[in-house]
Amino acid sequence: MTVGEAEGVLFSVLDAEEIYRTRHGRYAHLRDLGPAGAKLIRQLAEGRTHLYKLTIENYSNDSFVLIVGPQHQDNVVACFVGCPRCLNFYTDETRIVRYNSHCHAATSTSAIWPAMAGISKQRQR
């Protein structure tokens, strides 16, 4: 996944969550954002892209967590630092995107993704 693709995926879901919360007073699960629900996102509502699996956890009125990680085929991935199949992302209602590039899940304490640090701040306004 390139930086541009990652930005598109992450911010499409973040924007959809914000619109959904404005309309319904709470955050939503991916399926609620998609074609069967609010129709705010299309393919991403299925929870996957060509390389990544998307999961929304702990969604409520005031918060949610979006986890984006590699979609492993047959649980076999040749992992090395910088491999696009090994990047893991974490974001929440703060819109700060965090990542881990070592085949471990990103968390709320992971490093802020350098390519998106400025974008995260701009989109928070």
104 found inside a domain: yes
**Structural domains counted in the chain:** 1
pLDDT at 18: 95
Find the CATH number of the domain harbouring 66: 3.30.540
Q: How many CA atoms lie within 13 A of 26 on its CB side?
A: 8
Give the pair of three-digit tokens for residue 56. 């929304």
- Considering the entire predicted model, what is its pTM? 0.80
Q: What is the pLDDT of residue 58?
A: 85
- The pLDDT of residue 65: 95
Give the DSSP per-residue string, 42-82: SGGGGTB-SSEEEEEES--SS--EEEEEE--STT-----TT
User: Does residue 110 lie within any of the structural domains?
Assistant: yes
Domain enclosing residue 75, as ranges: 3-116
- Which residues of the chain fall short of a pLDDT of 50? 75-77, 120-121, 124-125
* Cα torsion through 32, 37, 43, 48, rounded to 10: 20
In this structure, is residue 121 part of a structural domain? Answer: no
